[in-house]
Amino acid sequence: MNSTAMEVIKTDIPDVLIIEPRVFCDSRGYFFESFSQREFDEKVMPVRFVQDNESMSRRGVIRGLHYQRMPYSQSKLVRCVKGSVLDVAVDIRKGSPTFGRHVAVELTEENHRQLFIPRGFAHGFAVLSEYAVFQYKCDSFYSPQHDGGIQLRDGELGIDWRIPSGEAVLSEKDLGYPCLRDAIIDFDINDNLYQQMP
């Protein structure tokens, strides 16, 4: 295995990790491994991704903050393949020393970075470019009955989405989510969230 195919960069919250691939460029363009199960298992954690999703959004769109409740919680591996986004993961594990804190990382088509968001986190992103194509892997299938969400304008989270409020494009569904203090949270830092598989 090429041990330099990807670099794992730690963030301020343990287990939320930036994945930076090794990119090979020449006069024809570029090439990189966007995902290797073997290397991911070794450098991040053994996760079996079962669903890939893609969205396209215009500038100012903010999607989030989403999660799925137990037992259908999801890990996500996200990246922006066109344009740029600010990607945000919020720790919603009760009892966690970083509960309510977030990591924000700019993902762009130029930097090829990915963000790994483990179970027990809410996720969202804001589109900073004219439009963005966003892809993500999930390790649990979508279950509408287990949808959960947190109000992305929750002031206690302190998230700077880098989009002026007058330019933000939000869905009615996302606007209807409660703040973190009122949300239905069934994640606990003392639980092994990866043992509870549907």
Helix (H, G, I), strand (E, B) or coil at 141: coil
Distance CA 177, CA 106 (A): 24
Question: Are 24 and 51 spatial neighbours (Cβ–Cβ below 8 Å)?
Answer: no
Q: Pick the catalytic residue: 66, 102, 112, 123?
A: 66
Distances in Å between the Cα of 5 and the Cα atoms of 34, 82, 170 are 9, 21, 37
Which residue stretches of the chain are H helix? Answer: 37-43, 172-175
Distance CA 3, CA 197 (A): 30
Rg (CA), the chain: 17
Q: Pick the catalytic residue: 72, 102, 112, 136?
A: 136
For residue 120, give the amino acid letter.
G
Query: Does the annotation count 112 as an active-site position?
Result: no
Query: Does the annotation count 136 as an active-site position?
Result: yes
Enumerate the active-site residues: 66, 136
